[in-house]
Amino acid sequence: MSPAGNEFVIEHYEKKIYDQKQLLEISKALNSTLDYRYLIDVILNICLAQLQTLNAAMYLEPEVDSTMFRLEQSFKGFEIGDREINFAIPMDSPMVHFLAEKPKATMLKAILAIPELTKDPIVTFFHKLGAEVIVPLNAKGRVNGLLILGEKMTMSEYLEDEKEFMTTLASLAGIAVENARLYELATVDMMTSLKVHHYFQTKLKEEMDRCRKKGTNLTLLFTDIDKFKVFNDTYGHQAGDVVLIEVAKQLINNAGKHDIAARYGGEEFCIVMPGATEEEGYEMGERVRKSVESMVVANPNGGEDLKVTLSVGISSFNTNDRSNKDLIERADKALYQAKHSGRNQTICFKPS
């Protein structure tokens, strides 16, 4: 073999070794978290960095018994309008069946060359979107999602090594996403998408322990929808459920990256704010309260739109706190004061 040929072979195997090392590190990263949203973001960013593309998106199952894949909102680069965002992919579609039989990274142009798939609406949709590669995610012997990549920044073709890399990445990602989704199902209230009570209690204890060890701040918000029983009696429980969902969205949308928005029980929601001072907690309480006050919810029964207000109580960790109960009781007392001194306000706990 010529020296040039030897150099090519050496370079090829060096790249193989590098890719394997990268996949090992990626596998560690994917298995180090059960945070569903964070995990999806990690997977998409890995694609951008490793494959030199500006466009990456994932279609996953939104619910346990879903028959469709839907776009995850953390997509990168693709110009996706409202119509495209709502586009759902049936799990029993011809293209998904094709990918299930050949679970590997596949160029869209190769799919377009298959007569029975040419007119598949999903294939047409991806073509219009500017997708170049479709990669099925797999877990427990079935396709549990799709990874979509756009063209490379260099405008060059995807190499076979890169397609192999994507296939392996997708198999790792499929398992990681499935594990994270199962964990989320166990820790998230299905109606409101807030964390459940036992998760809230566990994380609050962890954060209080961290405060004791490191001297950091911690603030807790308790919220309650004003006169919710009267609201339910007036408009019915279906309207009440819609309002709970919309109020929960305000907490989720306003909560910071490291905050924990949870459902304490009934219409009582809370936010755990690691590292936050009482002043920052008050500012958060006011943001949430004002966003709920300005919120207009369509009445599921027809008729007039629905409006509610929120009362908020704030407490902050102090070194005398022995358990979750201490911090919770102070937030609850502040909330009681907010509700019994006019409602629709944020009050920080002050010792009597």
Any domain includes 257: yes
Average pLDDT, rounded, for the chain: 90
Residue 259 lies in a domain: yes
3-class secondary-structure state, position 51? helix
Instruction: Answer yes or no: do 37 and 170 share one domain.
Output: yes
Q: What CATH number did the domain enclosing 108 receive? A: 3.30.450.40
277: in domain: yes
Whether 267 is catalytic is yes
Q: Are residues 176 and 203 in the same domain?
A: no
Q: Is residue 192 part of a domain?
A: no
Is 250 a member of any domain? yes
* Residue 59 near residue 39 (C-beta atoms within 8 A): no
Total domains present in the chain: 2
Predicted local distance difference test score (pLDDT) of residue 303: 81
- Residue 169, in any domain of the structure: yes
Q: List pLDDT tens digits, range 213-234.
A: 999 999 999 999 999 999 999 9
Residues 133 and 218 in one domain: no
Residues 260 and 332 in one domain: yes
By CB atoms closer than 10 A (0-12, 13-18, 19+), residue 265 is: exposed
pLDDT in tens, 77-95: 998 888 888 899 999 999 9
Instruction: Give the CATH number of the domain where residue 292 resides.
Output: 3.30.70.270
Domain boundary among 157, 185, 213: 185
Of 127, 155, 185, which residue constitutes the final position of a domain? 185
Give the chain's count of helices (H) and strands (E): 13, 11
Cβ–Cβ < 8 Å for 27, 174 = no
CA 318 from centre of chain: 32
Bridge-based pairing state of the strands 218-225 and 133-139: unpaired
Distance CA 94, CA 114 (A): 11
Which residues span the domain enclosing 277? Answer: 197-348
Q: Has residue 50 got a pLDDT over 90?
A: no
pLDDT range class, residue 73, cuts 50, 70, 90: confident
Tens digit of pLDDT for each residue in 14-33? 556 556 666 667 777 677 77
Q: Please tell me whether residues 160 and 205 are part of one structural domain.
A: no
Query: From edge to edge, which strands make up the β-sheet containing 310-316?
Result: 260-265, 268-274, 218-225, 310-316, 346-348
Catalytic residue from among 7, 207, 267, 293: 267
Of 176, 99, 80, 201, the C-alpha closest to 142 is: 99
Same domain assignment for residues 50 and 20: yes
Per-residue confidence band for 35, with pLDDT thresholds at 50, 70 and 90: confident
* Residue 118 placed within a domain: yes
In percent, how much of the chain has pLDDT > 70?
A: 92
Residue indicated by tokens 């009681």:
336
Out of 185, 205, 229, pick the residue that ends a domain: 185
pLDDT at 119 over 80: yes
Residues 176 and 307 in one domain: no
Q: Which helix (H) or strand (E) holds 268?
A: strand 268-274
Residues 33, 172 share a domain: yes
Q: Specify the pTM.
A: 0.69
* DSSP, res 40: H
Whether 191 is covered by a domain: the verdict is no
Tens of pLDDT, residues 295-348: 999 998 888 899 999 999 999 999 999 999 999 999 999 999 999 999 999 999
Does residue 10 share a domain with residue 116? Answer: yes
